[in-house]
Amino acid sequence: MENCQIPTLSMLPNPITIRITDEACDFECVKRKAVSKAMAFAGSLELLSWYDRKRQVYYPNDECCVEGEPNWLAYALAKSADLAIDVNDEEYVFVFRKS
């Protein structure tokens, strides 16, 4: 994975940080908790992109950078993303658009 794929908190739109300490909580578990947290701030939302540092995967999966931003984040921002859930210091990031 290229360095440009690693997000920083300052890149994220309106980041909300959460901590999950349960080692048994896999990606789907973390995703559910992130969506639940996001819904507390916006009742209706759309998940536009995500990043999983543990598995080194992200969505949408494109190999290029956009002016130094991770491509998955640039995609979400181009789609009017306005909320991000940052889990465990960018270990996981979920980017949403409030509807």
What is the residue-level pLDDT of the chain in tens, covering all 99 positions? 455 667 889 999 999 999 999 999 999 999 999 999 999 988 789 999 999 999 999 999 876 666 678 889 999 999 999 999 999 999 999 999 998
Q: Which residues have C-beta within 8 Å of that of residue 21, sequence separation ≥ 6? A: none
Distance CA 50, CA 63 (A): 15
Q: Where are the domains of the chain?
A: 3-98
Predicted local confidence at residue 1, as pLDDT: 44
The model's pTM is 0.91
The top-level CATH class assigned to 3-98 is alpha beta
The pLDDT, as a whole number, for residue 61 is 86
Q: Are 42 and 50 in contact (CB under 8 A)?
A: no
**What is the separation, in whole angstroms, between the first and last Cα of the chain?**
32
Q: Residue 7 has what pLDDT?
A: 86
Tokens of 66: 């956009």
Query: Would you tell me how many other CB atoms lie within 10 Å of the CB of residue 34?
Result: 24
